[in-house]
Chain A
Amino acid sequence: MDYDYKKEERKRYLKYFCVWMIIAAIALLVFGVMKLTHKEEAVVKNERHNSQAPSQRVYDYAEVLTSSEEQKLEELIAKYEAESECDLVLVTIDQAVGLSDSEWTNTMVNLADDFYDQNAFGYDQPHGDGAVLVDNWYHAGQDDSQAGAWLSTSGKLEYAIGESEENRVWDALDSGFEISTYEAYARAMKKIAYYGKTDGASEPVQIPWAVVLIVPAVIAAIYAGINMTQAPGKDTTTSTTYVPGGRGNMNVQRDDFIRKNVTKVKIETSSSRSGGGGSYGHHTSSGGFSHGGGGHRR
């Protein structure tokens, strides 16, 4: 008798997990086959072909970085450049470019495009692949702030960085500013370099190991929890179960108005002028070169 139950239990167990086991087996099989047939694609590194452009990448005209930070950024950018095969230039300025959005945008576009053109930046060739990030600090934090960044992209980056990628760059910049100016630029450059490296391809789905280890444990714990708790039953009576007809007889029902009071509050109008700039799209600079990019005021 006892033996029969054990056998039945084993059958039940196998049946219960049958589908899961098949899925796991298929997943392992697919992974195994892929692993065997997968060849490491040889990454061909292209050399830089541009002798015209200067070697300096960080132009801190606004003097918002210390010299050691500049040095660190130069090193970081050198590394990102090699990975992304793009020239990555950072310019900080502190100059009036116009308060209205259209004025601001026009001036920033020209500043950025011209800086890139005149210095003949480009990784593959002069005026080739790369981007310049111009960050203006004019009256930053004041009511008439003209502060904000402009990203001018060229060559392959012009097409790799669209509006949504641009917004990721601004997100990186903003999140960095919460820590330090240096961190902001480092993060923005890393993002730009990333799009250069992947040619704007969407980010591959990577499941972190933490997820692989923790999520199944959590699911199993919830599963155990759900299966271990049970209520003996639900109360299925309501307040009117034992009231014939389901309702009482109202003798008095009064809702008398007593008084009222009115309060008024001034509506605070938001005076911040964020969000100026936006994506600017493809255009040709005064130097006759094609650029993309957009701005982000703060």
Chain B
Amino acid sequence: MIFKCKNCGGNAVYSPEKKMMVCPYCESENSYTRKDKETTYGLEVCPECGGTIPVEQYDSAMKCPYCDNSVIFNERVEGQYLPKFLIPFELGKEKVKEMIRDRFKKYTFAPADFLSEARLDSMKGIYVPFWFYDYQTNAVFEGEGTKVRSWTSGSYRYTETSYYSVVRDMNIPFEKLPADASIKMDDSIMDLMEPYDYSKLKDFMPEYLSGFNAEYYNMPAEEVENRAKQKMEGDASAILRSSVSGYSSLITKNQNVRILSRNSAYGLMPVWQYVYEYKNKAYPFYVNGETGKIIGTVPLSKGKVWAYSLTLWVLLTVIFAAVKGILGLL
């Protein structure tokens, strides 16, 4: 499907700034029609121009490289691939460019064109598929804690150690623990994108995808659940332990997190991706399209590092030597 402006026939896209469908050509707001594919050709054929779109296995939305219209593949956002919810892009491209510039302008050793307009403009907005897991858990801790008290009486120092049996049993619910279901996206990077603000969750509508790239889940919920489960177990243990306080030492005798019930849901999260190529190496940057959190490492120009460090060294040595000379003459 594509979304077309009622007034000029241009491609209507979702605007994060205005939070509605906008035609970038005639600036009409919320005035569009949905045009579905009329033929039964394969999904790689653009419904607008008939060109062949280089669709990859998991793509559910992308731009037609010929007519530049934003195409959403019906078969990949419906039925079993219908996302339960998504967070629409809150930050538009211009805003994110500005944020990246702000954040990285102090990086002296980044290559010269790292923040150039031409490079930054290649940034893409992607809806990344995530599985979200709900858990109802029962967490139990059993251990032995000690409290130490000491005092002085006469010429003796007394130390009293009291031993306590410590038991905690709590039910901890977890809601929407995310794990990304995209092979392209590095798991550790996607983990760093968290957290998302779930108050911005919306029911899925294909309109949100217009103007952006999207994937559907690359693997079923069971395959990525382990990551969410590990996080849940770590968090549950931390919550359990933080409920024990006031002891000078604590020995764990038994600690166990049991899952009472579980649930999973499929959703899409907004991520801006900027890939900077430097000396044949790709440096990807990811920006949380909702919160603006930026993840990525800046490529370093080794020549600059050397030049700056050596300059600093020489200047400092000159200053130190001159100060030494001055003090010697005082």
Contacts and interface: CB of A to CB of B under 8 A. Distances in A.
B192 A234 contact: yes
A221 B238 CA distance: 39
B145 A255 contact: yes
Residue picked from A6, A16, A236, most chain B C-beta under 10 Å: A236
A20 B157 contact: no
B220 interface: no
Interface residues of A, number: 72
A267 B235 contact: no
Nearest to A23: B319
A5 B328 CA distance: 44
A236 B170 contact: no
B227 to A, nearest CB: 13
**Top-9 shortest CB links A-B:** A216-B316, A248-B172, A27-B322, A220-B313, A239-B238, A252-B169, A233-B295, A224-B309, A5-B112
A179 interface: no
A261 B161 CA distance: 5
A248 B241 CA distance: 12
B157 A265 contact: yes
Contact of A13 (B240, B307, B317): B307
A76 interface: no
A241 interface: yes
A20 B175 contact: no
B316 A219 contact: yes
B235 A239 contact: yes
B312 A223 contact: yes
A38 interface: yes
B171 A242 contact: no
Interface string A210-250: 01110111011101100110111111110111111001111
A223 B312 CA distance: 9
A263 interface: yes
Interface stretch (A91-99, A148-156, A201-209): A201-209
A223 B108 CA distance: 11
Contacts, number: 222
Nearest to A209: B324
Given A232-B192, A235-B192, 20 more contacts: A8-B112, A9-B304, A20-B316, A28-B322, A31-B326, A31-B329, A215-B320, A223-B308, A228-B305, A232-B297, A233-B294, A233-B296, A237-B195, A243-B172, A243-B175, A248-B170, A261-B160, A261-B161, A264-B156, A267-B152
22 contacts: A17-B311, A21-B315, A28-B318, A31-B322, A212-B321, A216-B317, A223-B308, A227-B107, A232-B189, A233-B192, A240-B239, A242-B235, A248-B239, A250-B169, A250-B243, A251-B170, A255-B166, A257-B162, A262-B158, A262-B159, A263-B159, A265-B157
A244 B324 contact: no
Contacts of B321: 212
Contacts of A232: 189, 192, 295-297
B329 to A, nearest CB: 5
B89 to A, nearest CB: 19
Interface in B105-122: 107-109, 112-113
Q: Is the interface of B mostly helix, strand, loop or mixed?
A: mixed
A140 to B, nearest CB: 29
Interface of B: 107-109, 112-113, 138-139, 144-145, 152, 155-177, 189, 191-192, 194-195, 231-232, 234-236, 238-240, 242-243, 293-298, 300, 304-305, 307-313, 315-330
A24 B311 contact: no
A207 B320 contact: yes
A35 B322 CA distance: 11
B327 A206 contact: yes
Interface of A: 5-6, 8-9, 13, 16-17, 20-21, 23-24, 27-28, 30-31, 34-35, 38, 204-207, 209, 211-213, 215-217, 219-221, 223-224, 227-228, 230-237, 239-244, 247-267, 269
Contacts of A38: 329
Contacts of B176: 242
Contacts of A235: 191-192, 194
A31 B330 CA distance: 11
Given A233-B296, A236-B194, A254-B167, A215 B175 contact: no
A243 B239 contact: yes
Contacts of A262: 158-161
Pick from A16, A35, A216, A217 the residue with the most CB of B within 10 Å.
A216
A261 to B, nearest CB: 6
A177 to B, nearest CB: 32
Contacts of B327: 204-207
A244 to B, nearest CB: 5
Nearest to A30: B326
Contact of B305 (A8, A227, A236, A256): A227
B323 A263 contact: no
A211 B236 CA distance: 52
Contacts of A6: 112
B311 to A, nearest CB: 6
A252 B192 CA distance: 34
Given A30-B322, A212-B321, A261-B161, A250 B168 contact: yes
B155 A260 contact: no
Contacts of A256: 164-165, 167
Contacts of A248: 139, 170-173, 236, 239-240
